[in-house]
Amino acid sequence: MLGQLLGPDIQELIEQRDFRALRASLADWPPPEIADLIESLPSEKDVIVFRLLPRDLATEVFEFLDYEKQARLIEALAKEQSRLVRLLNELSPDDRTALLEELPGEVSKRLLSLLAPEERRVALALLGYPEESVGRLMTPDYVAVYPTWTVQQALDHIRLFGKDSETLNVIYVVNESGHLLDDLRIREILLADPQGPVADLMDNRFVALKATDDQEAAVPIFRNYGRIALPVTDTRGVLIGIVTVDDVLEVAEEEATEDFHKIGGTEALDEPYIRTPLGKLVQKRAKWLVVLFIGELLTASAMGYFEAEIARAVVLVLFVPLIISSGGNSGSQAATLVIRALAVRELGLHDWWRVMRREVFSGLALGAILGGLGVARVLAWEQMFGLYGEHSLGIALTVGLALLGVVMWGTIIGSMLPFIMQRLGADPATSSAPFVATLVDVFGVLIYFSLAALILRGSLL
């Protein structure tokens, strides 16, 4: 047979770890032949070949294996896991991706239910779900029934298999191919006529997560539906597990912590602060501090450009920190508000224009308030100490207008930068408070001294 004929070549390709060639050569084989081949390979290698099959093919091949062969493969997948893990560590990332395509739902489900909870974390990686995906949080401890069963049959099944279920509040209904059809509250089942079919209780409305969904995306769904557990399906809708909200709580907390670190201008720490080794802590912080420092160097150049004006009117320089930090502060406010709203899915990319309008108005109002205070400060000190002499009005006007401009600029930059980050596929939280402040500082210096040159030319300058 073809399988036996080509066996040695295949073995060779496996030895050489040439998974791409292997995958390509298998793609055109008829599924029954591949099934035979898998049977003929030693237990370590059959798993690798099965893992290499494109998903559609894997489903077909799996169906061609008889029940005992299927069970042996699943067991092999579970048993060979430590060997596979070692293998995986030696692979390049794209080879690894080729090897770890999402397994068919049937296979995932059986593999999961075979494993002890402590082995499950490793297995979920093997099942091909990307890191930080819903698939990594799944447990197989749920109860599913068929719509053709009577309520009594469903109850008997629950009594028999419900013991290990993470929650008995919700029972899932699937068809023979394992597709999720509905979720039923245990209450509905308990109160129904025991002789009627399960199908009578169904409304075919349910909320489910996809195993490949981002974990972060699960948080608002749990929040909005107030559920303790949600079913997880593979990309075809086959029920393969459930995710309970306690795991999602942990995810939400970790995501928030990462965002906090980023907003504070640190690369996100992978471990808790106090357990992060000092060297790593310094490294993660130094990276951003250096980037910001280099950005901030531009302020020195910007001010250098106005050195002549500064030499003529040193008094102007006294207000530089006040003006640029007001811009930075209003920028961090806007950035943090928008970053958080994006993170909890309260805002989406399409809302950028609504936010822009709000922030232009807010920036105008806040800038007017601070500008007014700035004018008051200059005039009051002039009144009390006579510091600025005949130029006091011009200085007051320059400081006031610069504050207005800088605060508006900070607000707009701060609110739009997170949208731009998200649009570019980066984490919006990367547009941290210090990052925004640095951007605003440079422009703040330019705005201030340009205004000064304009307003005070011929008098102080």
Q: Contacts with its own copies in 299-328 (CB under 8 A)? A: 299-300, 303-304, 307, 310-311, 314-315, 317-322, 324-326, 328
Query: What distances in angstroms separate CA 262 from CA 133, 240, 285, 343, 430, one per listed residue?
Result: 21, 35, 10, 13, 6
Q: Cβ of residue 264: shortest distance to its own copies, in angstroms? A: 2
Phi/psi region, residue 204 (left: phi>0; alpha: psi -120 to 50; beta: rest), is left
For residues 29 and 288, which CB has a smaller minimum distance to its own copies in the complex?
288
Among 9, 246, 383, 459, binds its own copies (CB under 8 A): 246
Q: C-alpha 109: how far from its chain's center?
A: 25
The pair of structure tokens assigned to 231 is 């079913």
202 binds its own copies (CB under 8 A): no
Could you say which of 21, 177, 346, 389 contacts its own copies (CB under 8 A)?
Answer: 346
Please say whether the beta carbons of 406 and 439 come within 8 A.
no
Spatial CA neighbour of 432 closest among 299, 334, 358, 353: 334
For residues 108 and 372, give the distance between their C-alpha atoms in angstroms, rounded to a whole number. 65
Instruction: Rank residues 99 and 243 by Cβ distance to its own copies and give the closer one.
Output: 243
Nearer to its own copies, 132 or 296 (CB): 296
H or E element in which residue 214 lies: none
Nearest-approach distance from CB 196 to its own copies, in angstroms:
18
What is the enclosing helix (H) or strand (E) of 241?
A: strand 239-244
Nearest approach, Cβ of residue 248 and its own copies (Å): 7
Residues 42, 93, 272, 425: which binds its own copies (CB under 8 A)? 272
CB atoms within 10 A of CB 109: 22
* Residue 48 is a binding residue for its own copies (CB under 8 A): no
Residue list 210-229, contact with its own copies (CB under 8 A): 219, 222-223, 226-228
Query: Given the complex with its own copies, which of 91 and 186 has the nearer CB atom?
Result: 186
Residue closer to its own copies by CB (options 49, 221) is 221
Q: Site residues for its own copies, window 421-440 (CB under 8 A)?
A: 433-434, 437-438
Residue whose CB is less far from its own copies, 87 or 289: 289
Which one of 139, 233, 332, 430 is in contact with its own copies (CB under 8 A)? Answer: 332
Site size toward its own copies (CB under 8 A) is: 105
The tokens of 215 are what?
């974990």
- Phi, psi for 75 (deg, rounded to 5): -60, -40
- Shortest distance (Å) from residue 335 CB to its own copies: 7
Contact flag: residue 27 with its own copies (CB under 8 A): no
Let me know if 253 is exposed, middle or buried by CB neighbors in 10 A (0-12, 13-18, 19+).
exposed
Q: Which residue stretch of 20-28, 39-47, 204-212, 371-379 sits at the interface with its own copies (rule: CB under 8 A)?
A: 371-379
- Which of residues 236 and 285 has its CB atom nearest to its own copies in the complex? 285
Kindly tell me which of 31 and 367 has the beta carbon lying closer to its own copies: 367
Side chain identity, residue 22 = L
Strand 209-210 to 229-233 pairing: parallel
List the helix and strand counts (H, then E) for the chain: 21, 6
Q: Is 207 in the site for its own copies (CB under 8 A)?
A: no
Phi, psi of 238 (to 5 degrees): -80, 130
Rounded-to-integer distance, Cα 287 and Cα 245, Å: 35
Instruction: Answer yes or no whether residue 5 interacts with its own copies by CB under 8 A.
Output: no
How big is the chain, counted in residues? 461
Between residue 148 and residue 177, which ones bind its own copies under the rule CB under 8 A?
Answer: 163-164, 166-169
What is the 8-class DSSP label of residue 28?
Answer: T
- CB of 166: closest distance to its own copies in angstroms? 7
Nearer to its own copies, 197 or 220 (CB): 220
* C-alpha–C-alpha distance, residues 369 and 332, integer Å: 17
Contact residue for its own copies among 91, 289, 356, 379 (CB under 8 A): 289
